[in-house]
A and B are shown apart, each in its own frame.
Chain A
Amino acid sequence: MTVLDMSQVALRELNSTLQAAAKDRKNEAFDITNPRGSHAVAVGLDGPLDVTIKGSTGYYCAGMNKEATVTVEGSTGPGVAENMMSGVVTIEGDASQYAGATGRGGLLNIKGNASSRCGISMKGIDIVVHGNIGHMSAFMAQRGNLVVLGDAGDALGDSLYEARLFVRGKVKSLGADCIEKEMRPEHLTFLKDILEKTGADAKPEEFKRYGSARKLYNFNIDHADEY
């Protein structure tokens, strides 16, 4: 295991070291110390790697991740795991705005709360939030799963496409075209697996499922005068 101390190593050098190790595909382990809220820590990792960040980070931590496992022992700023392709990103604390935005695959596991626009435009990523999420979460989400053990803020799933949203707590309000849907056996099976995998303390039966009413997919002439 290699330790990279951010009070000694510049961000650019840190990221190029990690990116090179990821490309080597030896599944090396790295500890990052003294992140002190720095931006863009451990971004663009394209290969198997095990990175632990000992402290809180700023914007865009673990963005564009592919195959790597990144754990943040602290909280993260806006845009954590943005456009992630695969791999696992775990946040021990809270995540700020637009966590997992546009993510195409992999798992984002947030042990604390996530702020507004969590999973905005997600395209295949699985996001598990052990706490609450903020307003406008899963806005225009297209594919993937957002699982929330706590409450959701205003306008959940506004203009939602085919992503599946599971919320255990209260939903302040649903956004345009987002409705509650029946929980079928395959959804309970999915929840059981992902809750186990993320160490989440909840039962599948406690969740409600939300999805697209699919009314915004096509232009409706009856609504023309509403614009």
Chain B
Amino acid sequence: MCGIVGLFLKKDDLRPKLGDMLTDMLITMTERGPDSAGIAIYGDDGEGVKITVQSDAPEVDFAGLEDDLSKAAGVAVSVKVVSTHAVIKAPLAAEAALLAAVEAKGLRVMGVGESMEIYKEIGLPKDVAERFGIREMGGSHGIGHTRMATESAVTTLGAHPFSTADDQCLVHNGSLSNHNSMRRKLAKKGVFTKTENDTEVGAAYISSRIADGASLGEALEGTLEDLDGFFTFVTGTKNGFGVVRDPVACKPAIMAETEDYVAFASEYRAFADLPGIEAARVWEPEPATVYFWER
């Protein structure tokens, strides 16, 4: 099944409450997938780049990380450790050197970007959200996922959201049937995935199209032509939020829009506590139709 939630704020008033609202939405969807949960939050743009990394042995791997990375990259680096994850902040120019350094240390990169942070682990949404203090996080938009594993193993790397380019991420309900052939096609273009997961291929496809110059809307349109299988995709970019369902559209999806926000969920239950939901425009997204918002 899997459960997806997404929230894109149109106004700034609700920004401090983004993490709180997304957490409640995701916990409501727990029954749709108890294997793992994850959330991507687009917070306040800082100066420079943020790299979210994960480790199974955080006490060992994150000890002295700030000093090690500062030396490796030759710039001042800050590290904020949050349970099994750490958010590394540094000037933009240091991104490549830092990525090489964290990978050399065997840390798993969850996401990279100027505003996006990704937190995901095996376990129930309430435990994952509490572990990472998602409720306290503010921001402009975010997406979340609670997974019922179908296409690959129940591991941290197999959890959603998947990020395959800076400030881009994707969550998915469904299963792709041509992900192996698409993975090979993308690899020929030099786009490599880290897992056997079908959803990562969906994310990589969209990133690759955007890198080729497509808009978010065009990249989402492309999924309808080039990806085969069942899917409801919800994607985030630095300033955008997009939704697309395959032409059969058997995976559930519902959206709500008010003057303050656009919300997405697998079920209406996830909307029940959103402010002003009684007066919101609530609708089921059409099959093979792209919806997106950008600020």
Do A and B pair up? The answer is yes
* Residues in chain A within 8 A of chain B (CB atoms): 36-38, 56, 58-59, 75, 77-78, 94, 96-97, 115-116, 134-135
Assuming the contacts A96-B252, A97-B252, A116-B249, asked whether A37 and B272 have C-beta atoms less than 8 A apart, the reply is: yes
- Which chain A residue lies CB-closest to B273? A36
Residues of A within 8 A of B267 (CB): 37, 58-59, 77
Residues of A within 8 A of B284 (CB): 94, 96-97, 115, 134
Distance of B273 from chain A, by nearest CB (Å): 8
B268 touches A37 (CB 8 A): yes
Tell me the bound Cα distance from A56 to B254 in angstroms.
13
Q: Which residues of B in the span 259-295 have a Cβ within 8 Å of any Cβ on A? A: 267-272, 282-284, 286-287
Residues of A within 8 A of B270 (CB): 37
Is B250 interfacial (CB-CB < 8 Å)? Answer: yes
Distance of A200 from chain B, by nearest CB (Å): 22
- Which chain A residue lies CB-closest to B278? A55
Assuming the contacts A75-B282, A77-B267, A94-B284, asked whether A36 and B272 have C-beta atoms less than 8 A apart, the reply is: yes
A135 touches B269 (CB 8 A): no
A36 touches B269 (CB 8 A): yes
* Residues in chain B within 8 A of chain A (CB atoms): 249-250, 252, 254, 267-272, 282-284, 286-287
Residues of B within 8 A of A37 (CB): 267-272
Residues of A within 8 A of B249 (CB): 116, 135
A interface: dominant SS: loop
Tell me the bound Cα distance from A94 to B282 in angstroms.
9
- Which chain A residue lies CB-closest to B252? A78
Tell me the bound Cα distance from A199 to B213 in angstroms.
52
Distance of A3 from chain B, by nearest CB (Å): 19
Give the residue among B250, B270, B271 with the most A Cβ atoms within 10 A. Answer: B250
- Which chain B residue lies CB-closest to A96? B284
Tell me the bound Cα distance from A75 to B267 in angstroms.
12
Assuming the contacts A75-B282, A115-B284, asked whether A97 and B250 have C-beta atoms less than 8 A apart, the reply is: yes
Distance of A220 from chain B, by nearest CB (Å): 27
A77 touches B268 (CB 8 A): yes
Distance of A101 from chain B, by nearest CB (Å): 13
Residues of A within 8 A of B282 (CB): 75, 94
Among A56, A97, A115, A116, which residue has its beta carbon within 8 angstroms of that of B268? A56
Distance of B286 from chain A, by nearest CB (Å): 8
Give the residue among A36, A94, A97, A115 with the most B Cβ atoms within 10 A. Answer: A115
A135 touches B283 (CB 8 A): no
Distance of A183 from chain B, by nearest CB (Å): 29
- Which chain A residue lies CB-closest to B283? A94
Assuming the contacts A78-B252, A97-B252, asked whether A135 and B287 have C-beta atoms less than 8 A apart, the reply is: yes
Residues of A within 8 A of B271 (CB): 37
B287 touches A58 (CB 8 A): no
